[in-house]
Every structure is written in structure tokens, then in C-alpha cells.
Amino acid sequence: MNEAGATFTEGLETLWSVGPVRQITAVCGGSINGAYRVQTRDGTYHLRVYRTPDRTQIDREHAAIAVALASGVPTPALLPAHDGNTVARLHGTGADGAWAALFAQAAGAPIPRSALCMKTASALGAFLAQVHSRLPAEVPFAVPVLCASSVEHTAQRLERIEQAILSLPVLEEIDRWALTRTRQRLAHLRSVPLRDVVPSFPFRFLHGDYHDGNVFFQDWQPASLTDWEQTRRGPRAWEIVRTIDLSLELLPQLCRAFLCAYRAHFPLPCDELQNGARFYAMSQERNVWTYESVYLNGNPGPRRFIRPPPYVPFLTRWQTLK
């Protein structure tokens, strides 16, 4: 058993009915919380160790999973602990007191972003349309509403990030990228920022983090959607455009395949898509979550999302699709 896993063993065996733990392996990719593959006598599970002490966020995620399963969206189920709850406090060195949840193993596996092709882009689009059509527009629990900071507040946050990077004893290449992009974003916000965009289409319940890393494929078809930590109320076109940006990197052929497949399952008027793109562009221009997580909150997970310069506003890149 690896060193990290050994610290959780005692807690898992006393909290969940999964049989003796044989191995626990850290899983790369958890940008918000800790993720581990747990192999026991009775099977293989996914352990999520929450960095937040806030039960409200955790309970919202678990409520979203229940809604998804009830709606027919394939997603790994939560295993109840001995006390009947879906969340429990871990015991053991390095994790004492942390909230954790144990999930059934997801069917399939993600396809690496570099391996996405027309077929998989089409499958991602069709699957998102099915998710949107199956999930209820409203849910009986509080969900954050998509919004964006003001230009002034965003600039202040970027200034704090800039100072935090400059205070590092050594700047690695990724830190230099972050510093350059932060300064370029500040220059953009001080000169030609986007005005506030008010979506013209209804807000609804969304997964909030739909992308290739959270969609597990089996036989080239999506089999499971994971990670319901960032559920939001917002326009569905925001989530569509976000996926096109993050997963397909605005590559024209892949984007056309994605949109064609989505529209084959769920109509999407052009004006709704364009309105979602403008709202997403404004939101991204003022989104500093990645850099704040890394440089202000001490979470190294999102470092892999830091890209090399230059910083190019999303709306500029979106125009290339036309």
C-alpha cells in the first residue's frame, strides 16, 4: 500500500462497508479536492477527500448527484457510510477530521484531450444535449447563480495575484507564464474591457463543469458524467460554449461536430449560442479562480490549467469560428 493510502485505511474500514482495504492510490487530476482509487476485498471505489470544511458545498454536490441519477444521467453513485450519510469524517495521519465521500467506480475512462477527434467531439455534444434535456431546470436546493465580478474588483484581485507571484523565492516557467498573463489581463481590463452582459435566455440547473476530463467513455460513447462540485444556475449556452473552449480549444472542425450533434438532440438557435458566447466571454475575462487557487489559496492542483502567454480575450478567439 502506498504511503498516502496507508493514512486513510483505518478510517475507511470503520466508516464504510467495503471490506478490508488492499490499496489506495492517489489519482491525478483533482483540481479542487483530493482524489484516490480505493481497492478493497469487495471492489474498487473512488474516494474524494474534501479540502473545504463547508458542509454546504458538499451537501449541494451530493444533492446534485441524487438529482442526476433520478433524471437518468449516468453518474457514479455515492456509497452510504455506516451512519447512513453520504459524507463522513476521515481518521488518520494527514487527513484527520477531513470530510470525505466514497463513490462507486465510474464506467469507462476519459479520452485524453489530445486524442479527441470528430467522433468523440460529436459524442460529447450529443451527451451534453441529453444531460440538458434530462436534468430539471430547477432543483429543490440552493445552487449558486452564474455571475461575474466587476471590472474594478477583478483588477484588484489580479493585482494581489501579481504581488503573490512576485513574492515567490523562485519563479518556475509556469509562474513566469502566470505573471505575464496576469499583467496582460490587467492591461486589457484597464483599456478595453467588455461591458456587462445580461443573458437573454433563461437560467437553469447546470452541471457547471462539463468537459472531456469529466466524461468517461466506453466503446467510444459517453458512459458516465462525474464531478458535480460546481453545479450552477445559468444559461445552457454558457455551458456549451465553455465546453467548446476548454475541451475542443475552438478547433473549427471539432466545434462544428459538437454543435451539430448537440442540435440533433436538443434545438439550439444561433442567437442563443451567440448570447451564451458573449456571457461566457465576459465571465472568463473576470474569472481569476485558477490563479487565486494556486497563488493565494495554496492549492497546486490548478497549476496545470495555466497556459503560456499571450493572454487573448475569449471573444477575440471566438470570432475565428465564424
Give the model's confidence band at 9: pLDDT under 50 very low, under 70 low, under 90 confident, else very high. Answer: low
Instruction: For residue 14, give the 3-state DSSP assignment.
Output: helix
- Kindly report whether the peptide bond that precedes residue 310 is cis, defined as omega within 30 degrees of 0: yes
| Rounded average pLDDT over 263-271 | 97
Task: Calculate helix-pair angle for 151-166, 173-191, nearest 10 degrees.
Answer: 150
Rounded to whole angstroms, the Cα distance separating 221 from 135 reads 20
Computed from CA positions of residues 272, 278, 282, 283, in that sequence, does the dihedral angle turn out positive or negative? positive
Give the model's confidence band at 11: pLDDT under 50 very low, under 70 low, under 90 confident, else very high. Answer: low
Residue, of 4 and 188, whose pLDDT is higher? 188
291: enclosing H helix or E strand: helix 289-295
Over the stretch 244-254, which tens digit does the pLDDT of each residue have?
A: 999 999 999 99
- On average, the pLDDT of the chain sits at 93
Give the model's confidence band at 91: pLDDT under 50 very low, under 70 low, under 90 confident, else very high. Answer: confident
pLDDT of residue 5: 46
What are the cell numbers at 218?
A: 466506453
Over the stretch 110-168, which tens digit does the pLDDT of each residue have?
A: 999 999 999 999 999 999 999 999 999 999 999 999 999 999 999 999 999 999 999 99
Over the stretch 162-197, which tens digit does the pLDDT of each residue have?
A: 999 999 999 999 999 999 999 999 999 999 999 999
What residue ranges define each of the domains in the chain, with the CATH number in brackets?
22-102 (3.30.200), 113-147+196-287 (3.90.1200.10)
Task: Calculate helix-pair angle for 118-134, 236-246, nearest 10 degrees.
Answer: 160
| Rounded average pLDDT over 75-81 | 97
Rounded to whole angstroms, the Cα distance separating 248 from 254 reads 6
Amino acid at 121: A
